[in-house]
Amino acid sequence: MEEKQHKRRVHYSGKYPKKFEEKYKEKDPEKYRETVERVISKGSTPAGMHISIMVNEILDFLKITPGMQGLDCTLGYGGHTMKMLEKLKGDGCIYGLDVDPIESEKTVERIRKAGFLEDSFKFRLINFANIDKVAEEAGRFDFVLADLGVSSMQIDDPSRGFSYKTDGPLDLRLDPKHGESAAERLHKITEQEFIGMMMENSDEPYAEEIAEKVFGIMKKGGPMDTTTALRNAIESALDKLPAEDKKEAVKKSCARVFQALRIDVNSEFEVLYSFLEKLPDILNPGARVAILTFHSGEDRLVKKSFKALKKAGVYSEVSDDVIRPSAEECRLNPRSKSTKMRWAVRA
């Protein structure tokens, strides 16, 4: 019998680990609860975790009662789903959807360990643009949640390439097994198309300067296949800015450019269009829908759809104004600051 080798823990310098792969305590909240609580209390998200946003506001609106059937269109870390399952009290079912095969596997395992088995929670590895296919199997729903944000465990993992703050492959795909990475996309589009992408997807004010720098580097054979390479190109493109303004401008432009690429790579606007179009047909009369958006482009689409369908008599009520997270939630979870919630009730 082959002797099992002991695997040593990752060693790190300093009092606390800095790199994602070193944070083994943060990634094991069941074993190291105190560490996780300490990280959260400081306004940070533990590595490999995601802190669900506006849970109370969502539950207050959805008014979930036992016997209902619900749909979480973007399962993520499963925080919203678990709270909604608790409201069902063992009577009813929630379908959870996600396109990320890596994180969804961990989430489903966590939900099963919490005691929610197949009769109360069903997972489908499918894009929420295809909610009509889910409804063919499940029937119509009494409540629906769509959290359109990228989960923290995706952002924080350097291997996924979502963040300009850590070095990794320039990927940005929610499903890394399908489609083109952001690096591949950059090599297929023109400079003008990149400018249009940044302006349309994130209102980037320095789109022309950034595109000129990025494509200038690639034309000379320079690499543009890592998060660091793109970040450095953006920083170089803004060299003409005054020194006192540059640092903040680079930070904001990096966030916007990465957002623009992520939206393009994952066809996020097209997916949202399809979802909003199909949504009324999967709802029971009186069903409630809550959608969390994280940038103006998403919010405009949701607002326009809800308003038009209320006018057409499809929805009996829609939110007139967005609901935002409380000041206390924003303090504890800074990633919630840009969140906007809109809701609708099926006629």
Please give the C-alpha separations between residue 131 and each of 61, 141, 178, 278, 310, in angstroms, as whole numbers: 21, 11, 19, 7, 21
Report which DSSP code applies to 269: H
Residues above pLDDT 90, as percent of the chain:
71
pLDDT of 30 above 80? no
Question: At 336, is the pLDDT very low, low, confident or very high (cuts 50, 70, 90)?
Answer: confident
How high is the pLDDT of residue 15? 58
Rg (CA), the chain: 21
User: What is the rounded CA–CA span in Å between residue 292 and residue 286?
Assistant: 20
Contact 193, 186 (CB under 8 A): no
Question: What residues contact residue 277 under an 8 Å CB cut-off, 6+ apart?
Answer: 305
Strands 141-147 and 69-72 turn out to be parallel
* Nearest alpha-carbon partner for 77 in 32, 120, 114, 39: 114
* 48, 57 Cβ separation under 8 angstroms: no
| Distance separating alpha carbons of residues 200 and 211, to the nearest angstrom | 14
pLDDT at 3: 47
Q: What is the pLDDT, as a whole number, of residue 68?
A: 98
pLDDT of 298 over the 80 cut: yes
**14 falls in which pLDDT band (50, 70, 90)?**
low
- pLDDT tier at 24, thresholds 50, 70, 90: very low
Give the CA dihedral 126, 128, 134, 139, nearest 10 degrees. 160
Task: Kindly report which listed range (13-27, 80-94, 295-309) carries the lowest average pLDDT score.
Answer: 13-27
Q: What residues does 72 pair with on adjacent strands?
A: 96, 145
What domains can you pick out in the chain, each with its CATH number? 55-152+286-346 (3.40.50.150), 175-265 (1.10.150)
CB 140 within 8 A of CB 284: yes
Task: For the chain, give the percent of residues with pLDDT over 70.
Answer: 85
Q: Determine the average pLDDT of the residues in 277-298.
A: 96
Give, in order, the Cα–Cα distances in Å from 310 to each of 63, 155, 320, 344. 20, 35, 11, 9
- Going by pLDDT thresholds of 50, 70 and 90, the confidence category of residue 111 is very high
Angstrom distance (rounded) from CA 287 to CA 104? 26
* Longest CA–CA separation in the chain, Å: 71
